[in-house]
Amino acid sequence: MLYRCIEQIRRGNSQTVFLCFMILFFLNKLLFSNTPPVTHIDTPSCIDPNTCIQEYTSYLYTIISYFSLNAISWHRLLYWGVTLCIWYVFGRKFFYTSEAMVSFITQISLLMFLDLFFLFFLTCFMFAFVCMSIYCSVYTIASFFKTAPREIKRNWGNFPKHTKRIADKITGHNIDLYKCVLDVSNVVVGESSCLSINLINGKRESYKFKKDDVFMTEVTWTSNNQIIPVVIEPTDLTDTTSIRVSFTCYTAGEYSIKATINSRDFPKTPIFHCAVADKPDPGHSLVDLKSDCLVVGEHEQSSITVLPRDQYDNEAAMLPEKLKLIFLDTEEPAFSSSVERDLTIYLTVLQCGVFRCCIQYDGVVVGSGEFFVIVLTIMNLSRLENDIQNDNPLSITVSISNLESKQTKKKIQCQVTPKQLTFTEYFLIFFPSRFATFRMRPATKIMIDNNSNSVCINDGKQDQMNVLFSLEENRQLFIAYFNKFLLKNLGGSSDFEEKKTHFYQKLKVAVSKNRHGTHYITIDRENLLKNMINHSKDFSPSQWHKKWYVEFKGEEGMDYGGVSRELFGVLSRHIFTPTNDNQFFVYFEGNANPLSHPNPAIDLKQSEQVYILIGRLIGKCLIESACGNPIFLEARLTRSFLAQLLGLRVCATYFATDDKALYRGKIQYMNESNNVEELEQYFVEEELGKDGSVLKTVPLKPGGADILVTQTNKLQYLDLLANYRLCKRVSKQIELVCRGLYELIPDTLLSVFDESEFELLICGITTYDIKEWKDSINICTTDRQVFPNLLSWFWTLAESLPQAGRARIVQFTTGSGQLPPGGFDSLSPRFQIGLSPSSHKLPTAHTCFNQLLLPNHSTYEEFRCMFNLAMKEGAEGFGMV
């Protein structure tokens, strides 16, 4: 078969030649081409090679067109090259005639031409297509970058936020937190510190804060995770390129500063900074003395330690070489002193006496001011210590001089005991007569005058008395015994917290023998006061001392302290809040936020048990607080009422807090006036009826109706007026309350407190909730440009202050640091904040309207400094209307 094919090829049989060519072509495609092979071929049916050339050509064109879709490859070129070489080298040997060879070569050339033509056409077409595609792409991209910014800018507001951020990030206009610059100024307590943030985008250009950007910051005191209020400037961050965060720290320590934008933390945060204490403030620094008198022995070394503080009571650093002890008397005693590195002053005085001293730091007095050093002989000092320990009194002979009558009484026996100062006069040597008695309590003051051998005693209730000593040694012992006994009664300190701790300890010991067991009480909530009186009027002191278990009739409740507190709260609100059915306490007329004061017009026969119950309730509150179950009265009581419960003298200064209407209308004018004679006021007080008519005229002193008030005697008139209006008119009520109180509490224990401290004991400390405060204020200005910024600064400052600082703001604005039982919402009128007409001044307050006016300031730091200055200086800068 093979031989016959070769013979046909040698004879020039065209059909056989083309069949061989096609076999080679398909073998090439099967071996080298990536195109799937043709599995079935329909060969032409003609027999004559001359007539079948056109059909083979057409058929071959179809096959070539199909395979020419593939790109030019090395195996196609190899195939055509090998084919031509084979036919050129061996063709002449196989073909008998030149015509057959020419015919075959012609046909092969035609096939090559067709194949190459279609390859060329396909290559040109692909090249043209690629060029057109490149052109269209370039044109499209160019058009996009030309028109897209204009269209995006025109329709930017309609784009979603995430689309905008993606676009900014691609173009480099988005904020780059890694390139932003953060800088924190030195953090010093009391000064405004600042976190500055310069915003930078991806192109290292300034980034403008967008309207939909969200910036947040947090400053935290790491010691207790307390969040410090901050002020972000400018108020409107839109289009700003830098942000300023101001904050003020009042406590030294480490602070953490964190900032985020769009919920992403700045890479360099949190920043930790240590707030250092301010420079030492001698006025806030402490001298470690238990009282204003230091009793030492002659030639004995004693020590005084200085505790340096800055103006915010942080521990500060003092230079020992700037600390000095100064004797203020004209004649300086012989002494030696040295200051150690721990700020301890070692003092040795070489002579006996009473010396006035102070400690100075860089020329400024340290602590509360002056103090006295009483130097005794070694023998007298030993005697003093033994007598104080064993409560042995001191007995000496003195002379008494009355400052008003200028009369001097000789040979008055003075006795200094742990409870009182007693002055006894003897008639005919054997018959004693009590001349004067002063209770041993802080209200009893001894004023020392080193220019004379005397002291002056004043307890604020009795007439001032001048005590003369025949021997300087007796004066030294009198002062030393008085201060040691007083200090022992106070628990060894004059600080309120330490006095309270000492009081609770003494009271707990006093009631401990009756404290065992529980006393069960069932009270009907309806007509609660009457039920409580009937239930408790026969209680013995021991039953009041016991722990109570309270149940309300018909109610379920386990008394683990809460039910008892509710009973005292409901009772105190019912008693101290005047209503149509309850007039045990009243308010002074014309007061915006009145305080409760005993009703002078009530029928005591029907109300006697109520006032006794009030005293017992106060005593029960103190007992429970001392035993670890604090109970407080929900009441706002007048200072004069509290002072009288402690046995203190009432004077005209109480009008400013108790009867503000009278104070504004009369007392303040008389205090400030230089010509009170024009008022034609006499030493009398008119009792007015409800219709304003004069019911009676009461003389304030014998013959007062004929004594005109002048510049000379106006202070005496004001004190007599206060004594009558605040004290004498309610003396019976006060006496009944004291009877109930001192049945339960020894009066000697309460004598260590003043009226402000006593209020904290029985009413507790008011807490000021900023959120409630914000919800309860009235804005009394229409300004919308300056005031919103000032108001934001005010709340930032209020949040940064402790409760005591907030109390001062409330006190400056309303006249009292205590809020009504209902809190800020119960103030009448409401707490008001407005814009002051002045700028760069201290804030002012109108207490009659509960109104605080804030002046305009350019920066928060200036606002803060002026506000703190106003609070530090007291009422100065706060107008009282």
From CA 230, how far away is CA 242, in angstroms rounded?
Answer: 16
The pLDDT of residue 54: 52
The Cα 563–Cα 461 span in angstroms is 40
pLDDT tens digits, 802-838: 776 787 787 677 755 566 656 777 676 788 888 887 7
* pLDDT of 404: 53
Report the distance separating Cα 847 and Cα 657, nearest Å.
Answer: 10
The active-site residue, picked from 352, 414, 763, 848, is 848
Helix 731-744, helix 604-626: angle, nearest 10: 40
Q: Which fold has domain 513-647+733-762?
A: Hect, E3 ligase catalytic domain fold (3.90.1750)
Instruction: Read off the pTM.
Output: 0.54
- Enter the DSSP assignment of 187: -
CA 698 to CA 685: how far, in whole Å? 5
Phi, psi of 408 (to 5 degrees): -120, 130
Question: 181-275 with 379-489: one CATH topology?
Answer: no
pLDDT (mean) for 375-396? 89
Averaged pLDDT score across all residues of the chain: 77
Q: Give Dmax (Cα) for the chain.
A: 186
Q: For residues 607 and 463, which has the higher predicted lDDT (pLDDT)?
A: 607
Dist CA 230 CA 225 (whole Å): 15
Q: What is the pLDDT of residues 746-800, one digit of tens each?
A: 877 887 787 878 888 888 766 778 888 888 888 887 777 778 888 888 888 888 8
DSSP annotation of 157 reads: G
Per-residue tokens: 149? 């910014």
Q: 3-class secondary structure for 296-332? A: EECCCEEEEEEECECCCCCECCCCHHHEEEEECCCCC
- As assigned by CATH, the class of the 286-376 domain is mainly beta
Confidence bin at 375 (pLDDT 50/70/90): very high
297 phi and psi angles, rounded to 5 deg: -100, 155
What is the separation, in whole angstroms, between the first and last Cα of the chain? Answer: 137
Domain ranges of the chain: 2-126, 181-275, 286-376, 379-489, 513-647+733-762, 652-729, 767-872
Query: Chain-centre distance of CA 387, in angstroms?
Result: 49
**DSSP conformation class of 452:** T
Q: Which pLDDT score, from 0 to 100, does residue 279 have?
A: 85
SS3 530: helix
Backbone angles phi, psi at 282, to 5 degrees: -55, -35
pLDDT tens, residue by residue, 540-561: 888 888 888 888 888 776 777 7
Give the CATH number of domain 652-729.
3.30.2160.10
pLDDT above 60 (res 868): yes
Q: Say whether 422 sits in a helix, a strand or coil.
A: strand
Taking Cα atoms as reference points, which of 410, 444, 401, 406 lies closest to residue 429? 410
Angle, in degrees to the nearest 10, between helices 2-10 and 74-94: 80
Q: Round to whole Å and give the CA distance between 516 and 522.
A: 20
Q: What is the pLDDT of residue 263?
A: 83
Per-residue pLDDT, averaged over 313-325, amounts to 86
Q: Which residue has the higher pLDDT, 36 or 284?
A: 284
Distance separating alpha carbons of residues 659 and 639, to the nearest angstrom: 10
How far from chain centre, in Å, is Cα 383?
52
- Give me the helix-helix angle, 14-32 and 2-10, nearest 10°: 120
- Is 848 annotated as catalytic? yes
Residue 448 has pLDDT above 60, yes or no: yes
Confidence of residue 847 (pLDDT cuts 50, 70, 90): low
Residue tagged 């109300």 (tokens):
607
CB-CB contact of 484 with 455 (8 Å): no
> Does the domain at residues 379-489 carry the CATH identifier 2.30.29.30?
yes
Show Cβ contacts of residue 206 under 8 Å, excluding neighbours closer than 6 positions.
Answer: 198, 199, 200, 241
In which band, very low, low, confident or very high, does the pLDDT at 156 lie, cut at 50, 70 and 90? low
pLDDT attached to residue 408: 61
Tokens of 583: 């007039």
Q: Which of 226, 269, 268 has the alpha carbon at shortest distance from 247?
A: 226
Better-predicted residue by pLDDT, 695 or 257: 257
Q: How many CB atoms lie within 10 A of CB 38?
A: 12
CATH of 181-275, one of 3.60.20.10, 2.60.40.10, 3.30.1300.10, 1.10.3470.10: 2.60.40.10
Residue 873's pLDDT band (boundaries 50, 70, 90)? low
| CA gyration radius, the chain | 52
Placement of tokens 């676009």 in the chain: 167
DSSP codes joined into one string, 546-569: SEEEEEETT-----SSHHHHHHHH
Judged against a pLDDT cut of 50, whether residue 482 lies above it is answered with yes
Give the separation between CA 214 and CA 174, rounded to whole angstroms: 14
- Joined together, the tokens standing for residue 500 give 């309270």
**Integer Cα distance of 531 and 310 in angstroms:** 55
Give the total residue count for the chain. 881
pLDDT in tens, 235-257: 788 888 888 888 888 888 888 88
Between CA 384 and CA 484 the distance in angstroms is 9
Q: Are strands 518-523 and 547-552 parallel, antiparallel or unpaired?
A: parallel
Domain 767-872 has CATH 3.30.2410.10: yes
